Structure 1
Amino acid sequence: MVAKQDISARLVALLSAGEEERAAQWVAHVSQGLAGRISKAELDRELHELYAALVEALRAGAQHVHGEELSELRALLTELSRNRARQGFTPSETALSVFALKQVLEPSLMGGTAADIQAYLRLSRLLDDLGLFTIETYTRAREEIIVAQADQLLELSTPVVKLWDGVIAVPLVGTLDSARTQVVMEKLLQALVDTGSEQAIIDITGVPAVDTQVAQHLLKTIVAARLMGAECTVSGIRPQIAQTIVALGIEFGDIVTKASLADALQLALKKAGVEMVARKDALR
C-alpha cells in the first residue's frame, strides 16, 4: 500500500508540472460546456485561482473537503457558485467547473503505476466531494435569490398611494395570504404615520376571490388601522364577490364597503370635510 504522504507528494508533483498548460485545458473544457456565456478572461481568472489553491491544499496534506487545508479553495468555490447562481447557470453547469478537471488530469495520472492509480483515485474522490460542495452552495445561493426576488415582488404588489391630503389607498392585486397581509398591514400603518392620514381605502378590485381566510386578513388589517386612529373603507366589491361573501356568511360588521374606488374616494373626501362641486362651465 502506498503511503498517504507519497500519494500527496505524487499529486503535487503531477499537478505542478505543466500547471499553466493544464489550467488552460481546464478553461477550454469548461468554456465549451458553458457555451461562451461567461467571458474567457473571467473564467481564466477563476479556474487559475482554483488550480493554484488545489495544489497548495494538497501540498499542505489536505485529506477531506472540509479540512482546514481546503478553506481557501472552498471560499473560491463558494464565490464561483454564487456568481453562477446570479448569472442563471444550472447546477450541472456550475459543477462542471470542478468535474472537468478530472478529464484534464486523467491522462497524466493514469500512468499505470500503483502510485499513479492511487493518486488519481484519491484526487477523483476529492474532486467529487468538491463538486458536491459546489452544488450545495449553488442551491443555497439560488434559494436566497428566489426569496429576495419574492420579497421584492411582494413589496411591489402592495403599494400605498396618497390620493388626497389625509386619504391613502392600498390597491391589492392577486391572492392575499398571511405573509402578504403582514406586509400590507405594515406598509399601511407606516403610511398612516408618515402622511398623517385619517382615511384609508383598501381596494380589492384586483383580488380574484374573497373567501373566509381573505376576509379575516382584511379584517386584521382594518382593525390595526383603526387602532392608529384611521377609518377604513373597502372598495372593489363586485357582484360576484358580494354573492360569495353572503354565501359564506362573512360579516364585515360596521366596516364601510363600496363597489368602486371612485365611490370610496368620494366618501373618504366627504368624511375629510372636502366638498365635491361639479362645474357647470366644464369644457365639453
Structure 2
Amino acid sequence: MNQEAEIVLRLLTQHEEQITSEWLEEAGAASSRLTDANRRAMRGEAADLLRTLREGLQASGDPEQFQAAAWTPLREVLATLSRSRAAQGQSAGDTSAFVLAFKRPLFKAIQRELGGDAGRQMATVWTISALVDKMAQWTVSTYQLTREELIKRQQQDLLELSTPVIKLFEGVLAVPMIGTLDSSRTQVVMETLLERIVATGSRLAIIDITGVPTVDTLVAQHLLKTVSAIRLMGAECIISGIRPQIAQTIVHLGIDLQGIATKASLADALELAMEQQGFTVTRTR
C-alpha cells in the first residue's frame, strides 16, 4: 500500500462519521429525487461503500487497478447500488452523482490532515479522485447493462403477449399474428406453438396473418419454417388471412405454398379445421 492509500485509509477509519454526514449532505444537494426513504437508503449505501472501500485499501488494493481482486467487494456493492436504483427508475446521472459526492468530504479531510504538506496533499487528492472516478464509472456501466437487460426482458414479454396461442377447441390451436413478423418473433411463435402442441396433443394449428401488414420473401420464409416445424411434430397447419394483395405478392415473389392449406379469413380456416376434425355445425333454429 502506498503512502497516499494509507492516508486515505486512516482518514476513513478515524473520521468515518463526519465524512459520512458530509457525504450524505453533499449527495442530497446533488440529488434530483430525494425523500425521507431515499435518505435512509443513502445512509445504508454509504456505509456499505465505506466498508468495502476500507477493505480494498487494507488488502493493498492499488486504486489504479480497480479491476483487481482486492476491489471485488467494492465493485459488487457498486453494482448492487446501480441495479437497485435502475429498478427504482432513477437515472444513471443520479447514481453516479451520489458516488462523486464522496469526493468533497474526503478532500476536506485531506486538507485538514495535510494542510502543511502541499505535495503530499496533492498526491493524496489525486489518488482518491482517480479511485472515486472509477467507482462512478463502474456504477454507470452497471446501470446501462441493467437497463439493457430490463429492456430485453420487456421486449421478450411483449413478443410473448403479442403472439398468444389460443386453444379453439379440442385438437385445434390458433395463433393470431399482428404486426411485423421478424426472425425473433418467429422464433417465439414457433417455440410457444410447439410447446402448446405437445401440451394439448393438438393435431391442427391455424396461423392467422390478417394483422400482418405486408408479406415479403422474409416473412414467407418465416411462415414456411413454422409450418415445417409444426409438421415435424406430427401436426398440420392452416394459414388464414390471405388477402388479395397478399396473394398477389406471394405469386409475384414466386413463393411456393403448395401443400399448405390457406384461407382468406379466420372463419373459413375455422370451418375447414372443424371439417378436418370431424365436427359439424348446425343451426338449431
Considering the TM-score relative to the shorter chain, is it more than 0.5? yes
Q: Is the 8 A contact 1:10 1:116 kept in 2?
A: no
Aligned to 2:261: 256
| Structure-to-structure mapping, 1:37-186, within 5 angstroms | 39-63=38-62, 64-110=65-111, 111=115, 113=117, 114-186=119-191
Q: Distance in 1 between matches of 2:208 and 2:28?
A: 52
TM-score relative to the length of structure 1: 0.90
| Structure-to-structure mapping, 1:196-211, within 5 angstroms | 196-211=201-216
Q: Is the 8 A contact 2:5 2:127 kept in 1?
A: no
Q: Distance in 2 between matches of 1:96 and 1:195?
A: 54
Q: Distance in 2 between matches of 1:35 and 1:156?
A: 33
Q: Cα distance, 1:207 vs. partner?
A: 1.1
TM-score relative to the length of structure 2: 0.90
Q: Cα distance, 1:77 vs. partner?
A: 0.7
Q: One-letter code of the match for 2:183?
A: S
User: 4+ residue stretches of structure 1 with deviation over 4 A?
Assistant: none
Q: Deviations over 1:54-74 (max 9, x none)?
A: 233224432131233322211
Q: One-letter code of the match for 1:117?
A: M
Aligned to 2:219: 214
Q: Cα distance, 1:88 vs. partner?
A: 2.3
Q: Cα distance, 1:112 vs. partner?
A: 5.5
Q: One-letter code of the match for 1:209?
A: T
Q: One-letter code of the match for 2:263?
A: K
Q: One-letter code of the match for 1:79?
A: T
Unaligned runs of 5+ in 2: none
Secondary structure of the equivalent of 1:274? coil
Aligned length: 277
Q: Cα distance, 1:274 vs. partner?
A: 0.4
Q: Cα distance, 1:51 vs. partner?
A: 1.6
Q: Deviations over 1:9-37 (max 9, x none)?
A: 32223233331122122223323414226
Pair 1:20 & 2:17 matched: yes
Secondary structure of the equivalent of 1:39? helix
My pick for the range that moved more, 89-98 or 171-180, is 89-98
- RMSD of the alignment, in Å? 1.9
Q: Distance in 2 between matches of 1:62 and 1:227?
A: 58
